[in-house]
A and B are shown apart, each in its own frame.
Chain A
């Protein structure tokens, strides 16, 4: 039962993490930045806006389907609510399904901006989703298990550093960090997928997106640092990707490599001190 409480606490957690992210980005720009609870105010405002009635069933269903995907992620990861203990690929499928649902919504809206965003997202999906599934498979192959509940490898990046690096780079695409944000390019294609949504549906899409971002941070911590450190590493990954977002693409690549090397050295030091590594 306690897992349900934890999973419900992750929803305000996702909103506060987004507030912290905006604050971090603002500090990188040398700005004061919005208040910490700004995403919460945004969602409250959107819920109070005028409601339009749409005739298109797919278009009106898409926000609720996206929210369903996010809640499904909360049910299976990182705490197993209702004893849900399927294998790790289910989480990969749900991540992919959410992006596919956005594409359906944008195509159903018949907005040219939404269509451009869909085509770009489809092209990008060909690349990153295969990598994402391969990364998941490799981590679980390393652990020798199939479900999240039995995954007990800690500091996996010390053993499979290249896979950990791949995971960090794949998360760039999932989080839409600068080199891979072609589907959100505001100067070219307006608001992208969400061009035609307003009010309550937009608020629901926002919540779904925020939960997905938080799950990405937790998943990275879970895979790379282990179950114990998953929730502690989530804000650290958030700050890392916020810094990536504000820097140029080449710079972020270099910083990723440097961070990775530093982390690998620290992990080896930890392994040597704890005596798990026979030198």
Chain B
């Protein structure tokens, strides 16, 4: 169980939104922030990943896809909701086409607020969700 703290592999899902948070997530992997020094790797397939980063409000179209992708992650797995939209609904809260924030669809371990959050806070969120009591 504690082994995923050594090499957390990361997968993204943009569940609908302005793409700003996704760009900040990609910024974590550039030489300036370099999360590979913690053993993190960006994985294209959800089946390889340990941590799922969900950005944006979940619209009705993407709710099923998000559930599907969450089920593809093998245990042990963690979910981090990123950005004001993913945490609470943000700008789109009263929109007609949304299925709700991320935690209405799948269980979420850590919330990273901000519009968009800085790469430092995203890295902090991932490290916190790996170091919580259930992981040890």
Contacts and interface: CB of A to CB of B under 8 A. Distances in A.
A35 B37 CA distance: 7
B48 interface: yes
Given A45-B50, A48-B3, A191-B43, A31 B75 contact: no
Given A44-B3, A45-B6, A45-B7, A30 B44 contact: no
Q: Is the interface of A mostly helix, strand, loop or mixed?
A: loop
Interface in A12-45: 22, 26, 29-35, 38, 41-42, 44-45
Contact of B44 (A48, A186, A197, A199): A186
Contact of A34 (B1, B36, B76): B36
A191 B47 CA distance: 10
For the side of the interface on A, what is the size category?
Answer: 20 to 34
Interface string B56-74: 0000000000000000001
Interface in B11-33: 31
Given A31-B31, A52-B74, A42 B39 contact: yes
Interface string A160-200: 00000000000000000000000000100011001111110
B44 A31 contact: no
Contacts of A48: 1, 3
A195 B39 contact: no
Given A41-B3, A49-B74, A50-B75, A33 B31 contact: no
Interface in A174-233: 186, 190-191, 194-199, 202
A22 B37 CA distance: 11
B39 A41 contact: yes
Nearest to B43: A191
For the side of the interface on B, what is the size category?
Answer: 20 to 34
A22 B43 CA distance: 16
B135 interface: no
Contacts of B31: 29-31
B45 interface: yes
B44 A34 contact: no
B102 to A, nearest CB: 22
A32 B3 CA distance: 22
Contact of B4 (A45, A186, A195): A45
Contacts of B44: 186, 190-191, 195
A190 B48 CA distance: 11
Given A30-B31, A42-B7, A45-B7, A202 B48 contact: yes
A41 B6 contact: yes
Contacts of A41: 3, 6-7, 39
Given A45-B50, A186-B44, 11 more contacts: A22-B36, A38-B7, A41-B6, A42-B7, A44-B6, A45-B3, A49-B50, A49-B74, A49-B76, A191-B43, A195-B44
Interface of B: 1, 3-4, 6-7, 9, 31, 34, 36-39, 41, 43-45, 47-48, 50, 74-76
Closest 3 CB pairs of A and B: A50-B74, A191-B45, A198-B47
